[in-house]
């Protein structure tokens, strides 16, 4: 069960945003990621609890940021409920639905989840629709991304070979592209994400389901 710590930055100007302390592992459903996030001064800022099914779909998501939270999952696309701590009776909760493939957001969990959903082979490409949950108020918006798996490399480490996947991710509205490096279920490098500590090696078995249609 890998656990460790990411530093998070604004991907546009590298302003420090805080840290995310995480653990993740395969489970009975498929794969689960849990994390607590903190501001730059160490104040608790939120949490992530994401469970994927065996096909990489978001079976259950519970995301908190400040006083806001999202509970959602895959149901005829994606369904979610957004609530505010100032509304304990959830009288003003808002429900949402979109024929999207997955959620995305600030947490590195969403990069890993998207890669597990796509299951690309080297040279493979896919386009998908995502619901982005934008901090600090977790406002949902939809976007389209293109992913390509540009290569897989093996690197020698003290604990054995480390397999690293290199993806190009494109925003299909703006044309902006960036590179993401994953080792199993750990993000090694991505815009706004820096792996600071890792207690145990990543789970590196690639899911074997067919790629997203």
Report residue 208's pLDDT band, with 50, 70 and 90 as the boundaries: low
Report residue 139's pLDDT band, with 50, 70 and 90 as the boundaries: very high
Please state the pTM of the whole predicted model: 0.93
Percentage of the chain exceeding pLDDT 90: 79
Q: Per-residue pLDDT averaged across 72-76, rounded?
A: 94
DSSP symbol at 204: -
- β strands within 86-159, DSSP E: 94-98, 102-104, 125-134, 139-157
- Asked if pLDDT for residue 26 goes beyond 80, the answer is yes
pLDDT at res. 1: 78
Q: Per-residue pLDDT averaged across 56-85, rounded?
A: 94
> Tokens standing for 163?
């397999």
> Tokens standing for 193?
């994400």
Q: Per-residue pLDDT averaged across 54-58, rounded?
A: 93
* CA atoms of 108 and 13, how far apart (whole Å): 18
* Domain residue spans of the chain: 3-197
Task: Give the chain's mean pLDDT.
Answer: 92
pLDDT at res. 156: 82
- Asked if pLDDT for residue 64 goes beyond 60, the answer is yes
pLDDT at res. 209: 45
């Amino acid at each position: 069960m890998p656990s460790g710590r990411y530093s998070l930055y604004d991907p546009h100007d590298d302003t420090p945003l805080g840290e995310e302390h995480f653990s993740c592992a395969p489970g009975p459903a498929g794969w689960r990621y849990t994390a607590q996030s903190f501001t730059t001064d160490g104040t608790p800022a939120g949490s992530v609890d994401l469970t994927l099914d065996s096909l990489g779909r978001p079976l259950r998501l519970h995301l908190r940021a400040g006083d806001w939270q999202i509970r959602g999952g895959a149901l005829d696309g994606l369904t979610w409920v957004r609530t505010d701590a100032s509304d304990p009776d959830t009288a003003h909760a808002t429900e949402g639905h979109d024929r999207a493939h997955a959620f995305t957001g600030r947490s590195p969990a969403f990069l890993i989840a998207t890669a597990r959903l796509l299951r690309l082979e080297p040279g493979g490409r896919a386009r998908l629709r995502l619901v982005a949950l934008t901090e600090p108020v977790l406002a949902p918006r939809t976007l389209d991304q293109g992913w390509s798996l540009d290569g897989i490399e093996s690197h020698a480490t003290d604990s054995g070979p480390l397999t690293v996947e290199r993806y190009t991710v494109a925003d299909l509205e703006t044309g902006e592209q960036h590179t993401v490096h994953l080792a199993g279920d750990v993000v090694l490098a991505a815009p706004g994400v820096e792996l600071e500590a890792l207690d145990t090696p990543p789970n590196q078995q690639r899911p074997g389901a067919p790629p997203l249609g």
